[in-house]
């Protein structure tokens, strides 16, 4: 029996559902399920999911090939349709075809056994991929001169195998943790390395390979040896190593958090081979997280805006969630989300159900909160709690400063050379409010302290 690992992405989110399976509505609106011909020399009908972006085309084509789960019979495996790789190509304006291998899901036929001959196994699967491309190139909505072929795991190996045929219009190959392991081979690792070397002598299309260091199927020494063997054959190939990812780097396509690891590299690869590589339909991908603001450490509970002691457990629960995750905070509440297609959008939506003024506070492991009005950086002029260090204030003003120290965040304290002052807390923009109120009665007001820092500059 042939067992090829690993499956369609199964990275689990907080609720146990693959993040990628919560597809963007834009993709589902333009989804079609077709039956298309495979290898003309071994006739069979293959089930294929097709996504197209808005418009009539013709669109450049991305063919995305799936992996296999040895724990589930091939004909019982689900149709391959949910993958961040598919959403990525849609965002760049491609039509995306996801064909099922023969014998898988709704496809006819079955995969033939070839023992340790991984080269033969990949070649036969690639002949079906070639048949799918031949069919699609005849469709008026497809630009047959601009094609990229990609695959995950066993689909990555089959993608590389396609490169030996010189299919018209195919400009490059993309392999995510690509490879195979056959259960009827005594030394599947050696068989894979040897086959990669033989394949590298046949393929002249450029390829890009993505691997991580905690891959549950292909150990780091194996995929390094596989790539080196392939490249030694003379095929132009680039290896992208992204270290550890989650609990299993083999599943990088199942989580939106993985996009940061491979999207920039794939954009650059597509640019080099003359294919579209810039986002034209951003709605197909999750919102990119804002840059870290360095407002506070991710676990600093005292820094949380609008939160009192009673609300802090809600944030502590956020810190226990797996990435991708996000939390948004508003004037009288908050909303958080973990996993799913777009946790940032979901957190903002959840927050808006409870309170006005929602803004992102943290995404994944970074605080991204920024103040509405920019404030000076901490000056370390004095300790925040040292009321006697505050310039210009009389005794009544120092009492006012003590009251400021008891206010909740966000908060700001402004002072004027004539001894005037004002403080504001918990509104949308305390810094702007304190300065405006102070300047209404006293000239030359400046911020002295904001939140937990003295910002006064002498």
Task: Name all domains of the chain by residue range, CATH numbers in brackets.
Answer: 19-284 (3.40.50.1820), 301-367 (no CATH), 387-454 (no CATH)
Report CA-CA distances (Å) from 179 to 191, 211, 328, 356, 426: 11, 11, 41, 50, 55
Tell me if 227 sits within 8 A of 237, measured CB to CB.
yes
Starting at the edge strand found earlier in the chain, the sheet holding 453-454 runs 421-425, 411-415, 446-450, 453-454
Tell me the two tokens of residue 157: 């190996």
Q: What are the E-state strand segments in 286-374?
A: 325-329, 334-338, 359-363, 366-367
215-253 pLDDT, tens per residue? 999 999 999 999 999 999 999 999 999 999 999 999 999
- Residue 310 φ then ψ, to 5°: -70, -25
Quick one: pLDDT at residue 6?
Answer: 32
- Residue 338 φ then ψ, to 5°: -140, 140
- How does strand 359-363 pair with strand 334-338? unpaired
Quick one: pLDDT at residue 112?
Answer: 83
Instruction: For tokens 């333009």, name the residue.
Output: 30
Quick one: pLDDT at residue 9?
Answer: 32
Quick one: pLDDT at residue 23?
Answer: 75
pTM for this prediction = 0.86
pLDDT > 90 fraction of the chain, expressed in percent and rounded: 86
Angstrom distance (rounded) from CA 444 to CA 419: 11
Whether the per-residue pLDDT at 5 is higher than 70: the answer is no
183-202 pLDDT, tens per residue? 889 999 999 999 999 999 99
Angstrom distance (rounded) from CA 285 to CA 279: 9
Mean pLDDT of the chain: 93
Average pLDDT over residues 397-422: 97
């Amino acid at each position: 029996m042939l067992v090829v690992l690993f499956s369609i992405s199964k990275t689990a989110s907080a609720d146990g559902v693959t993040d990628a399976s919560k597809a963007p509505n834009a993709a589902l609106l333009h989804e079609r399920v077709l039956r298309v011909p495979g290898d003309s020399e071994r006739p069979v009908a293959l089930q294929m999911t097709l996504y197209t972006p808005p418009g009539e085309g013709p669109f450049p084509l991305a063919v995305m090939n799936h992996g296999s789960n040895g724990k589930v019979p091939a004909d019982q495996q689900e149709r391959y349709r949910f993958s961040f790789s598919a959403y990525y190509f849609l965002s760049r304006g491609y039509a995306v075809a996801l064909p099922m291998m023969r014998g898988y899901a709704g496809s006819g036929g079955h995969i033939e056994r070839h023992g340790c001959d991984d080269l033969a196994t990949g070649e036969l699967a690639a002949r079906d991929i070639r048949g799918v491309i031949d069919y699609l190139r005849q469709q008026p909505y497809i630009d047959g001169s601009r094609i990229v072929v990609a695959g995950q795991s066993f689909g990555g190996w089959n993608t590389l195998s396609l490169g030996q045929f010189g299919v018209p219009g195919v400009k490059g190959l993309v392999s995510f943790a690509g490879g195979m392991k056959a259960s009827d081979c005594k030394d599947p690792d050696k068989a894979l390395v040897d086959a990669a070397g033989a394949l590298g002598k046949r393929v002249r299309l450029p390829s890009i390979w993505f691997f991580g260091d905690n891959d549950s199927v292909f150990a780091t020494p194996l995929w390094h040896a596989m790539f080196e063997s392939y490249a030694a054959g003379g095929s132009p190939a680039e290896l992208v190593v992204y270290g550890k990812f989650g609990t299993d780097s083999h599943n990088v396509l199942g989580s939106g958090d993985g996009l940061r690891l491979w999207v920039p590299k794939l954009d650059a690869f597509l640019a080099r081979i003359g294919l579209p590589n810039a986002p034209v339909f951003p709605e197909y991908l999750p919102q990119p997280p804002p840059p870290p603001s360095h407002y506070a450490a991710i676990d600093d509970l005292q820094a949380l805006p609008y939160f009192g002691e009673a609300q802090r457990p809600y944030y502590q629960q956020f810190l226990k969630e797996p990435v991708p995750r996000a939390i948004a905070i508003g004037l009288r509440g908050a909303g958080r989300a973990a996993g799913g297609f777009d946790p940032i959008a979901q957190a903002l939506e959840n927050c808006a159900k409870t309170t006005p003024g929602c803004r992102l506070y943290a995404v994944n492991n970074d605080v991204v909160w920024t103040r509405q009005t920019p404030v000076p950086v901490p000056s370390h002029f004095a300790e925040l709690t040292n009321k006697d260090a505050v310039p210009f204030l009389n005794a009544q003003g120092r009492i006012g400063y003590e009251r400021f120290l008891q206010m909740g965040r966000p908060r700001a304290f402004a002072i004027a050379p004539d001894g005037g002052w004002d403080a504001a807390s918990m509104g949308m923009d305390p810094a702007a409010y304190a300065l405006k109120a102070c300047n209404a009665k006293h000239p030359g007001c400046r911020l002295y302290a904001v939140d937990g820092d003295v910002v006064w500059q002498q």
